[in-house]
Amino acid sequence: MAQLLLPVDRTDWVVPPTSLSPYYNPKFNKVVFPAAYLQPPVFDFQMPTAFLYGSIGYVMGHELTHAFDWSGSKTDHLGTTVPQWFSGTAATAFNDSAKCFQTQYNGVRAYPSSNSSSSGFQVDGELTLSENIADAGGVALAHLAYRTRYSSIADDPSYLPGHSNTQLMLLGVGQGLTHCALSSTQWVKNQVETDTHAPGAIRGTVPLMNFPAFASEFNCPKGSAMNPEQRCMLWTTNMSNQSFTSGFSWSGSASGAAGTTSSDTRGVNSNIANLLLAHIFVMVLHVSFKV
């Protein structure tokens, strides 16, 4: 209670360094990675750099993406509550793109590891919407960061026979998402009913299905499970100018003309995201964190 009368301490963490859950705090506009999380097997210096960009890099990109979703759009750079900084057209387009994710995940079922005869449990696309969008952003940012920093060797053979460095990076994304979990029937049932995160097996596949570069890197046949005809996309990357944008696209212009395709890209946000991600990678890849 005594702290209520004190100035806000912007360096304070809401979790101890032993916590295993990184997070984005919109009130402080900061991403926090507790020391305990940056330990093997989640973050292991013995693993190839490409894999680390896929595993821990995905998580960093995921948390950064939260700064540019509905929650992040209601706070400024200091975390102060402000009128939503999305423009009217951007807000409409964001919502339309989000509906695609909600519908897609509503059609997904999660299965326990130990019961092959189970009919599975339907994922709640509305409950998990924010995290599913952040997963998509995390994949795109991790891929952009690796391809940008290691462009000269990104297509070279990796430590994993038969795979390029970029392919290894994308496999790292799958590992980072799933955490190689074995889940009981009751655990999966409880997760789909109460957790804002989809089960690990879903997070390890659907975001990669929605990411065109995955299908391109692994030469997945068009129409196959990992290269579907229809994708849900909100965050996009452009390798030619090394940018990360919210490429909202929708039918109809601001005046409502049917059949017109428009887009609202937040270039400033893209630059901020790229800068933050670059700084985080420099910090994490060169400093060994110990509890």
Which residues are annotated as catalytic? 63, 135
Name residues whose C-beta falls within 8 Å of residue 22's C-beta, 6 or more positions apart in sequence: 31, 32, 33, 34, 37, 59, 60, 63
| 16 vs 229: CA distance, rounded Å | 44
In sequence order, which residues have a C-beta less than 8 Å from that of residue 12 and are 6 or more positions away? Answer: none
Q: Report the Cα 59 to chain-centroid distance in Å.
A: 6
Strand partners for 30: 25
**Cα–Cα nearest to 52, from 148, 170, 155:** 170
How far apart CA 104 and CA 210 sit, in angstroms, is: 10
Q: Could you give phi then psi for residue 255, rounded to 5 degrees?
A: -85, -5
